[in-house]
A and B are shown apart, each in its own frame.
Chain A
Amino acid sequence: MSTTTKLRLEGVSVWYGAQMALRDISLQVPQGVVLALIGPSGCGKSTLLRVVNRLVERSPGAKVQGRVWLDNEDILRRDMDVAQLRRRVGMIFQRPTPFPFSIFDNVAYGPRLHGVKDPVGLRRVVEDSLKQAALWDEVRGKLRRPASGLSGGQQQRLALARALAVDPEVILLDEPTSALDPGAAARIEELVVKLKGRYTVVIVTHNLQQAARVSDLTGFIQAGALIELGETSLIFTAPRDQRTEAYLTGQLE
């Protein structure tokens, strides 16, 4: 495992109005690692992701305290170029939401935002991204068709291709398979594993087996607080905190 820290959170707390969603979270994610975040519903896991790409600020009444560093750069500071940040930190959502454009235009959306205009370059990026997302073979030759015509699993892989097309450094996945059938979910998991090393990945999931399968590190979050974080195998076999154990056994039974 790499020893460079890619992502570091320190004392991050988030309020939605008067309600506290995240409590004083501090953690470090080494480069190239896959970190899984597990825990009961509604306890802040998605919020944590959204702090990293600063989408949380879009929610009305959201307040963020604390510091977040991406490669030693404080990304929560006021004069941070948020658009650039989001280029470096990509996100896949729970519901695959293809834009109402063609498959090609969906994947090319990101690169176009960042100034890539020449058709040859775009086509290359689109092809590479689709290949990385294991979707190329299924859509080649049909790139001009509307993306809404794809199946759920294909749409999610499209979302991944879309995110990869801007060449991010970190990829955040917010329960990417909970809306998919097991077959499609398995393919996404394969892809996540393949992303290891080249990208730093944080994946939020309710599926403990999934977490165990794909991640190197696992963090358990309950009621907005980080209870425990460590190597996946250790967390699952010998968790240090009683609450973690309770959650794991409750879920696995």
Chain B
Amino acid sequence: MKAFFSSPRTYPQIDRMWRQIVFAAAFSVLALLTLMILVLLFGALSFLRHHGVISTLLGREWDPGRGQLQIGLFVVESAVVAGLAMLVAVPFGLGVAIFGTQVAVGFERHGLRWTLTIASAVPSVAYGWWGLAVVVPGLRGLGGGSGYSLLAAGLVLALMILPTFSVLAMEALSQVPEDWHQASLALGANDDQNLVRLVLPASLPGLRLAFLTALARAVGETMAVQMVIGGTAARFHGLFGPGATLTTQILTDMAILPNGSSDHGVLDLMAMVLFVGVTAMTGWVGYGQGRAEK
């Protein structure tokens, strides 16, 4: 066996085998993912053929019992919850990134980065647990109502995506070369000016990546949201009221609309909307943004 691999005479054979293997790997990965998309597409399209496209996508009547299946409400609530999360997470995340790259040095910076990395790997169900333990009761006290709400979901999500955003933002800010800092300071910039006029504009591509990645994660999150959002699908109940997002609705309805049932395709449709949205957001930014190329 070893002789096979180390003998020069078999090099061309090995090389050919290897070439075929890697191509097969790439092909099968792509095929698998394409298959996945096709399954969803098929389900979604066949559903749309039976129910109108516009009314399904934009309508907000959801009553499976009466055959009303319009996902507009969920699209809106997904956007609201994700938007809330970003509204809270981005300013704090930027603050963390600024502190971590412009103020903290050596040990502090390292420790911060470690804390954030571990925090970003904390499972979403744990954040959901915390939401149930802290946020929901808190909101109940504040606004009346059960506390299970879009707002609760937004806050829980905010905390969940904060580490992700912060780490990527830190990477973006730290890519600014020391040379530029020195040149800017040498011209008489104070620290805040340097930050606002040089560091932030120069890191925009990386910051954009951080933003979109965090947003994608927020939109795609199921568990943490599901645990605190209340799950009433009928109407929009406002920020302090319960609701459902595309993700939580898919989760809930996988049981109600089992495989083969005529309305199951709506789940594919919801999944498709999520998929297209998320892929468009992250794929847009492209490769190499803010990634170190040695």
Chain A positions near chain B (C-beta within 8 angstroms):
53, 55, 58, 60, 82-87, 90-91, 93, 95, 97, 99-101, 109-110, 112-114, 159, 162-163, 166
Contacts and interface: CB of A to CB of B under 8 A. Distances in A.
12 contacts: A58-B181, A58-B185, A60-B106, A93-B182, A95-B179, A99-B183, A109-B187, A110-B187, A113-B188, A113-B189, A162-B183, A163-B186
B193 interface: yes
B198 A99 contact: yes
Interface residues of B, number: 20
Nearest to A89: B186
Given A60-B105, A101-B201, A109-B197, A86 B187 contact: yes
Given A95-B179, A109-B198, 5 more contacts: A58-B181, A86-B186, A97-B182, A99-B184, A100-B201
- Mostly, the B contact residues are helix
A31 B58 CA distance: 75
B202 A99 contact: yes
Nearest to A163: B187
Given A99-B198, A101-B201, A110 B188 contact: yes
A190 to B, nearest CB: 23
Contacts of A100: 180, 201-202
Contacts of A83: 188-190, 193
B182 A113 contact: no
A112 B197 contact: yes
B202 A84 contact: no
Given A99-B198, A99-B202, A101-B201, A84 B188 contact: yes
A87 B182 CA distance: 13
A99 B193 CA distance: 14
Nearest to A83: B190
Best-buried of A84, A91, A93, A109 by chain B (most CB within 10 Å) = A109
Given A55-B182, A60-B105, A93-B179, A166 B187 contact: yes
Contact of A87 (B106, B177, B187, B201): B187
